[in-house]
Every structure is written in structure tokens, then in C-alpha cells.
């Protein structure tokens, strides 16, 4: 048999632990170990299935590719295997056994029984949903085992909670541990052997290094906007926080501010039932961005949301509105643009990309994923980094309440399985902060303002609780 290091051999030989979590460093043989374990399962258990759920079909096919190479090694070279891109089959004692690689989602997890390998679990789009689908399978037969393998991806996901839960068996192997057992570390530039300490010293992002290689979990420092930075921007005199509708006092305030100073710009992050719609209005004043109003709309029908946007767009000096036109927002954007024209209403598709040359990366954010041929970044990353830069340079002022404070802190840096840095925002399932709705609405408003050419912009959606009295900073 090919050589396995002690930490690999311990996992390979374990065919009794129901759920085993491999919290291992990157690049120390995790895939090889699990591929060997899966092969051993299907040749020794006739009619058995090992289902591998990966964060992408491509990574799943890589797992199958690694296992296919091992089929040429003893003791598996004496078996006949039928290998395709996403499946390996063999005849074990007259019964078909197989390894099947699928993309990780709740639907595919429900469709198969047998062993489960959850590969790079911390990077699943719906970790909780996959586990909810997988757990009943494991509970149905004592022969069914589960192997969960991943590096960390922050502390706000199920993988982190499982690793911290003493009920689960965890195999934790850092890069330093593996190096002491003979796994080499090479300098990325000279290719010369180096120590773990030297590798960490050379890393540009120490937090990402520790998470990728030393089994740490990045904590609050992965949040794009820290609480103290948001608090520094708090100014009750800057504008209002509204809910449900635009109070007449706020509309008058916006008209007066725009007539006396710079024009207004608006951003709209669109929601309907699960997420709220938030409309943000900004204005430049003495080198600072003043947020004149946030409007929150909860569970409001889109025609009524359009009425709120129209009321705002009728302000003569509101120059542009940028609307999230992804998914649900497309209809709201199209109707609003038809009413007010492409010069005033601009749609932003959150799935689109912009040239990387337009990107300004704030301190400590990390390098987003860039394509090699035509360097681009997701438009969400561009807008988010622009917003973070404005906060870090102390160029923004806005009213503040607990909902806004929590919502602005939801977006965070996420290190992908390939080591790239991306920006994601988890949903606050408590219903308090939402899904970074204020963050993206504010980012859209600033994006509308920095468009140099006349183009379609976002419209603002609003939520206001009818108020008997109006005070600066909050409408209740």
C-alpha cells in the first residue's frame, strides 16, 4: 500500500466512529486520505455507497480523480473499477458498490443512503440545510458513517459549532503538525524548503494564514465594518431612519437639503417577505457623505414599494437611484425605470462583474478573486470595498439604531477553499438585522453617486412606521 503518515493512517483505519470531523490544514493529504477510506469502504462492503458532497461539482470530480489514481495501488489494483467523472463503481461479492460525487445541497443530500463525506463543509452555501438532510440518513443504519472535512471559514457557521461541540470526534492537524511528520513547506517564490514560522511571517494576511494552515477560526476581524468604525460615523443630526412610508417632514427635509446644497443619490436593496427592502438617500456635504434617510419596508407588496420610490424620485434634485435588480428586484427596477427614465434609475445586477482596475482595496480586506485573462471582480465586492473605504477614511455620517448597527456588521471576508478572499453576508435568522439590507442599500447609493456618466440608477425603497412626532435621527 502507498505510504500514509500517522495522522492519515489513523483516519483511514477508522471504520467505527459514526461522525468524524477532519479539521486539517490545507495541502496535507486530506483528499488522499478520504479517497483511500472511501475505496476501502466500497470493496469491503458489498452493495455499499459512499456519497461525497463537495462545495462544487469540479471539486467533486477532483475527489473522484484522486480515488481513481489510488485504484492502481495495492490492495485495490486487484479489483475491477468502472470510473467516470463523478462516479467509481466496482463489483463487490456480486453486488454493485460505488463512490458518487455530488454538489452539496439539501436536495442531493436527501437522495442517497450510505456513507457520507462532506468535503470542505465550511464553504457550503447552505451548511445547515445539507446537515439537516444528511443527519436522518446517518441515523437510519449503524453501518453508515460520516466524515466531515474542512478548513475553517469564520465562526458564523455550523462547521465551527460542530468543531467546538464535545459530542463530535475531531481530528485536528495543523500545518506545523504535518511539517513535523515530514510534510514539506516550500517558499512560494524561491521554492526552497522553509519552516512554518517562516511561512507565516511571509504571509500578507496572517488571519487567513492561521485559518487555512493552523486550524484557527477567523473571528470578529473578518467583519468588513467593525463596530467602532460604525459608531464613529453615528450622527443623529445627519438624517432620519424611517419605517413603512415617507413622512411629509422627511420629504420636506430632503427637498430643502438638496436645494441648499449638493444633489441627492439613492440606493435600494430589494426584499419582499424573507428580507426587507431598504432605501438609502445620501448627499455630499463638506467632503463627507451624509445619509439623509434610511427607509425600511417590511413584507410590502412591490406595487406599494414602487409608490414609495416614486415619491422619492419626484424630488427634483435627486439625481440617480440605483436598484438591486437581481432576482426579485428586476420587476421593481423595470417599472420604476419605465416611469422615470434610464437617466435617473439604474439597475445593478449583483451577479455581474466590473473591471478590477476600478477597485480600491481598503486596508486589511485581502485580495478578491480575479480572472487571469480579463481581471474583474464581482460588483458586490467593488461596492463593498468602496463603502468600507469611506468608513475607514471617516467620510460618512448617519443616524444609528441597533438594527442598523447589527446589519452593517453582517458582511464579512470569506476565504474560499482555493484560498481566495470573497465577500459574503450571512442572513440573521433572528429577523432583527436581516440580510445586510442596509449595508447593500448604502453601498448602492454611494455607487450611484460615483457614476460619472449619466446612466440608469437605483431607486430607493422605504419602510416607515407612521409617526405622531418626528425627531431627527429616528421616525417611530
pLDDT of amino acid 192:
96
pLDDT of amino acid 426:
60
Closest of 191, 291, 168, 194 to residue 234, by C-alpha: 291
Express as a percent the part of the chain with pLDDT over 90. Answer: 67
Question: Residue 392 class from Cβ within 10 Å (0-12 exposed, 13-18 middle, 19+ buried)?
Answer: middle
pLDDT of amino acid 463:
30
CB neighbours of residue 157 within 10 Å: 20
pLDDT of amino acid 400:
95
In order, the DSSP letters of 66-116 are HHHHHTTSTTGGGS-EEE-SSEEEEEETTEEEEEEEEE--HHHHHT--SEE
Is 90 exceeded by the pLDDT of residue 313? yes
Q: Taking a C-beta distance cutoff of 8 angstroms, is the pair 101, 63 a contact?
A: yes
Query: In the structure, what pLDDT confidence band is assigned to residue 464 with cuts at 50, 70 and 90?
Result: very low
Q: Is 18 helix (H, G, I), strand (E, B) or coil?
A: coil
CB neighbours of residue 202 within 10 Å: 12
Q: Which residues pair with 411 in a beta bridge?
A: 425
Domains assigned to the chain: 6-222 (3.40.50.300), 227-475 (3.30.420.240)
Burial annotation 316-326 (CB, 10 A radius, 16+ → b, else e) = eebbbbbbbbb
**Predicted TM-score (pTM) of this structure:** 0.53
The length of the chain, given as a count of residues = 476
Give the least confident one: 89-103, 348-362, 367-381, 435-449: 367-381
Give the least confident one: 34-38, 136-140, 182-186, 351-355: 351-355
Is 70 exceeded by the pLDDT of residue 134? yes
191-228 pLDDT tens trace: 999 999 999 988 877 878 999 999 998 764 467 888 88
* Of residues 127 and 465, more confidently modeled: 127
Q: For the chain, how big is the Rg over CA atoms in Å?
A: 26
151-175 pLDDT tens trace: 998 877 899 999 999 999 999 999 9
Closest of 263, 325, 323, 279 to residue 449, by C-alpha: 263
Is 90 exceeded by the pLDDT of residue 460? no
Give the mean pLDDT of 123-129: 91
Torsional class of 175: left (φ above 0), alpha (ψ -120 to 50), beta (otherwise): alpha
Give the least confident one: 21-25, 79-83, 139-143, 471-475: 471-475
Q: How far is Cα 445 from Cα 342, in angstroms, rounded to an integer?
A: 16
Q: Taking a C-beta distance cutoff of 8 angstroms, is the pair 25, 175 a contact?
A: yes
pLDDT of amino acid 122:
93
pLDDT of amino acid 466:
30
Q: Grid coordinates in use for 124?
A: 457550503
CB-side exposure of 359: number of CA atoms within 13 Å? 24
Q: How far is Cα 294 from Cα 233, in angstroms, rounded to an integer?
A: 15
pLDDT of amino acid 361:
44
Is 50 exceeded by the pLDDT of residue 468? no
Is 50 exceeded by the pLDDT of residue 90? yes
Q: Taking a C-beta distance cutoff of 8 angstroms, is the pair 358, 382 a contact?
A: yes
Query: In the structure, what pLDDT confidence band is assigned to residue 356 with cuts at 50, 70 and 90?
Result: low
Q: Grid coordinates in use for 253?
A: 427635509
Measured CA angle at 56 (ends 88, 214), to 5 deg: 100
Give the mean pLDDT of 324-346: 93
251-310 pLDDT tens trace: 999 999 999 999 999 999 998 776 799 999 999 999 999 999 999 999 899 999 999 999
Is 50 exceeded by the pLDDT of residue 430? no
CA distances from 408 to 266, 274, 296, 426 (A): 17, 18, 14, 11
Q: What is the mean pLDDT of the chain?
A: 86
pLDDT of amino acid 274:
66
Amino acid at each position: 500500500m502507498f505510504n500514509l503518515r500517522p495522522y492519515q493512517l489513523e483516519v483511514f483505519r477508522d471504520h467505527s466512529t459514526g461522525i468524524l470531523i477532519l479539521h486539517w490544514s490545507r495541502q496535507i493529504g486530506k483528499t488522499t486520505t478520504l479517497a483511500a477510506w472511501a475505496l476501502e469502504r466500497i470493496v469491503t462492503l458489498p452493495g455499499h455507497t459512499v456519497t461525497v458532497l463537495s462545495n462544487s461539482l469540479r471539486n467533486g470530480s477532483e475527489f473522484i480523480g484522486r480515488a481513481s489514481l489510488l485504484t492502481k495501488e495495492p490492495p485495490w489494483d486487484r479489483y475491477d473499477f468502472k470510473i467516470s467523472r463523478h462516479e467509481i463503481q466496482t463489483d463487490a461479492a456480486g453486488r454493485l458498490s460505488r463512490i458518487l460525487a455530488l454538489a452539496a445541497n439539501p436536495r442531493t443530500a436527501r437522495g442517497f443512503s450510505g456513507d457520507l463525506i462532506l468535503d470542505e463543509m465550511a464553504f457550503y452555501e447552505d451548511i445547515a440545510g445539507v446537515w439537516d438532510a444528511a443527519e436522518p440518513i446517518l441515523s437510519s443504519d449503524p453501518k453508515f458513517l460520516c466524515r466531515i472535512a474542512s478548513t475553517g471559514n469564520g465562526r458564523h457557521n455550523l462547521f465551527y459549532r460542530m468543531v467546538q461541540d464535545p459530542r463530535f470526534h475531531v481530528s485536528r492537524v495543523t500545518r506545523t503538525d504535518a511539517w513535523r511528520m515530514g510534510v514539506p513547506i516550500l517558499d512560494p517564490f524561491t521554492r526552497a524548503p522553509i519552516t512554518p514560522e517562516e511561512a507565516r511571517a511571509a504571509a500578507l494576511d496572517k488571519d487567513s494564514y492561521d485559518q487555512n494552515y493552523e486550524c484557527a477560526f477567523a473571528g470578529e476581524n473578518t467583519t468588513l465594518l467593525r463596530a467602532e468604525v460604525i459608531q464613529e460615523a453615528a450622527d443623529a443630526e445627519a438624517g432620519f431612519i424611517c419605517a413603512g412610508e415617507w413622512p411629509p417632514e422627511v420629504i420636506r427635509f430632503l427637498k430643502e437639503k438638496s436645494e441648499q446644497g449638493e444633489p441627492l443619490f439613492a440606493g435600494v436593496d430589494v426584499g419582499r417577505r424573507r428580507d426587507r427592502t431598504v432605501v438609502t438617500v445620501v448627499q455630499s456635504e463638506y467632503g463627507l457623505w451624509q445619509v439623509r434617510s434610511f427607509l425600511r419596508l417590511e413584507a410590502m407588496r412591490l406595487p406599494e414599494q414602487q409608490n414609495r420610490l416614486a415619491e422619492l424620485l419626484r424630488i427634483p434634485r435627486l439625481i440617480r437611484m440605483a436598484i438591486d435588480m437581481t432576482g426579485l428586484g428586476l420587476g421593481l427596477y423595470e417599472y420604476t425605470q419605465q416611469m422615470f427614465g434610464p437617466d435617473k434609475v439604474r439597475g445593478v445586477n449583483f451577479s455581474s462583474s466590473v473591471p478590477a482596475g476600478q477597485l480600491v482595496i481598503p486596508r486589511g480586506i485581502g485580495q478578491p478573486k480575479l480572472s487571469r485573462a480579463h481581471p474583474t471582480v464581482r460588483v458586490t465586492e467593488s461596492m463593498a470595498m468602496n463603502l468600507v473605504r469611506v468608513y475607514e477614511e471617516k467620510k460618512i455620517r448617519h443616524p444609528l439604531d441597533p438594527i442598523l448597527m447589527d446589519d452593517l456588521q453582517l458582511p464579512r471576508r470569506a476565504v474560499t477553499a482555493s484560498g481566495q478572499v470573497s465577500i459574503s453576508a450571512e442572513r440573521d435568522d433572528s429577523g432583527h438585522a436581516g440580510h445586510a439590507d442596509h449595508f447593500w442599500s448604502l453601498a448602492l447609493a454611494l455607487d450611484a453617486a460615483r457614476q460619472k456618466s449619466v446612466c440608469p440608477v437605483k431607486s430607493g425603497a422605504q419602510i416607515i412606521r407612521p409617526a405622531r412626532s418626528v425627531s431627527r435621527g429616528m421616525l417611530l
